[in-house]
Amino acid sequence: MAEQPHTVVIVGGGFGGLAAAKALRNAPVRVFLIDRSNHHLFQPLLYQVATAVLGSGQIASPIRNILRDQSNVTVLMGEVSGVNKEARQVFVSDVDRKEVPVSYDSLILATGAHHSYFGHDEFERYAPGLKSLADAVAVRNKILKAFEQAEAEEDPSRHRDLLTFVLVGAGPTGVEMAAAIATLIRNSLKSDFRRIDPTSARVVLVDRSKRILGSFSENLSEAANERLKSLGVEILLERGVDEIDEDGVIVAGERIASKTVIWTAGVTPSPAGKWLEVETDHAGRVRILGDLTVPGHPEVFVVGDTASLDQDGKPLPGVAQVAMQQGKYAGKLIHRRLSGEPPPRPFRYFDKGSMAVVGKSFAILQSGKVAISGFLAWMAWAAIHLEFLAQSSLRVSVFVQWVWTYMTEQRGSRIIVDHHTTPAPETATKPATEAPAPVANR
């Protein structure tokens, strides 16, 4: 058999993993990209699926489709359960739940983070988070069902509790969700219900910090705060959530009755640190060196939300831009090594800026010394997000949907996809050996 090419295994098809795979396009390597989903998810727009603006297929593309023209990549759907650093193998459970080892010469772990309840996992049952498409569909079902339930309730005094939406965590996702729910209630739904008075609904945003959107400048945070208030969102700051149960939340000792609590308060990294048995930071992220490898294992890279790297004395934030730049760096470094070129300079994150949308026609944008809020920032937000959507087809359909939603105030995906229990056939059914009754099948 011919000599096997250098094998790079990338775990995770998010922003980091995908950037790494693309950076290896012209490298003399064989790449295996492993993800437990079949799709790359454009997480910054996940809140729009949760609030019924976009459909699932509009913010997700099959990973193998994105990489179909890159013939050195094989995409495998499977869940990684561990790594053997010495044998240079990752363990993958495939669709059929068989565990198979996959050998590597270089490994890039880009396994991201999931939402964390900070020791209160019992909250999850009542307050879903928002990291995957399934999460977004579950949150959307929950929101839409609250309205259905209120409409079915003849006693108007009960509408308020049913239509109280509580968001725990005032980071970008919490703020964007709060504004999107407020807009949904006041614009999209106004003429669809007969018994609900939309003004009776409450949207409450809770955070233990002093201000919303702590990663932005104080001015922008204040602008977003004003905007949220004008949309009717109640903002409760410097207050922690003591309890979440089926009747609502207890915030700083006070109960808020709510059937719809959504958790956007924080994330926990993937168990990459445990797989590798290496040092992690206080949040559980793998401490990496300036070349993004783990100490003592120059062939093992960790990038994105699951990695911990300080720059100028501060840890890099868990945002898409960091993951993309780190993934690209790791891919290029492997290519250089194989070409015998000298190692590049240590990784440095270039902050292109960050933004958050607060309802219709309003966003905040911070990039270096530029800080703007309002319509212009919103236009920039829309342009940049369309630009980044991985596939051109997604771009067209998202654009059409946005324009339509903007003009009509309607939302395109107000669909509760639920498994009904099929009732047991109530009539005597035919035995299979008899021809079925001639009932056309649709």
Q: What share of the chain is helix, strand, coil (3-state, %, to 5)?
A: 35, 25, 40
Residue recorded with tokens 């018994």: 195
97 binds its own copies (CB under 8 A): no
**Given the complex with its own copies, which of 379 and 417 has the nearer CB atom?**
417
2 binds its own copies (CB under 8 A): no
The residue type at 270: S
As measured in angstroms, the least distance from the Cβ of 280 to its own copies is: 6
Q: Which residues of 359-374 are buried (b: 16+ CB within 10 A; e: fewer)?
A: beebbbbbeeeebbbe
CB atoms within 10 A of CB 298: 14
Residues 104-133 that bind its own copies (CB under 8 A): 113-121, 124, 132-133
29 binds its own copies (CB under 8 A): no
Query: Count residues contacting its own copies (CB under 8 A)?
Result: 123
**Given the complex with its own copies, which of 137 and 224 has the nearer CB atom?**
137
299 in active site = no
Binding mask 205-224 for its own copies (x = CB under 8 A): ---xx----xx---------
Residues 295-354 that bind its own copies (CB under 8 A): 305, 315, 317-320
Residues 367-426 that bind its own copies (CB under 8 A): 393, 396-397, 400-401, 404, 408, 410, 412-420, 422-426
Contact present, 320 and 17 (Cβ < 8 Å): no
Element (H, E) at 41: strand 39-41
Q: Residue 235's closest CA among 243, 244, 246, 224? A: 224
**Given the complex with its own copies, which of 117 and 126 has the nearer CB atom?**
117
Binding mask 35-74 for its own copies (x = CB under 8 A): -xxxx---xx----------xxxx-xxx-xx--xx-x-xx
DSSP notation for 7-30: EEEEE--SHHHHHHHHHTTTSSEE
As measured in angstroms, the least distance from the Cβ of 172 to its own copies is: 6
As measured in angstroms, the least distance from the Cβ of 281 to its own copies is: 8
**Given the complex with its own copies, which of 20 and 333 has the nearer CB atom?**
20
In sequence order, which ranges of 79-211 are alpha helices (DSSP H)? 133-152, 159-162, 172-183
Binding mask 150-189 for its own copies (x = CB under 8 A): -xx----------------x-xxxx---------------
Contact present, 232 and 200 (Cβ < 8 Å): no
Pairing of strands 370-374, 202-206: unpaired
Catalytic-labelled residue, pool 151, 176, 341, 434: 176
- The catalytic residues are 176
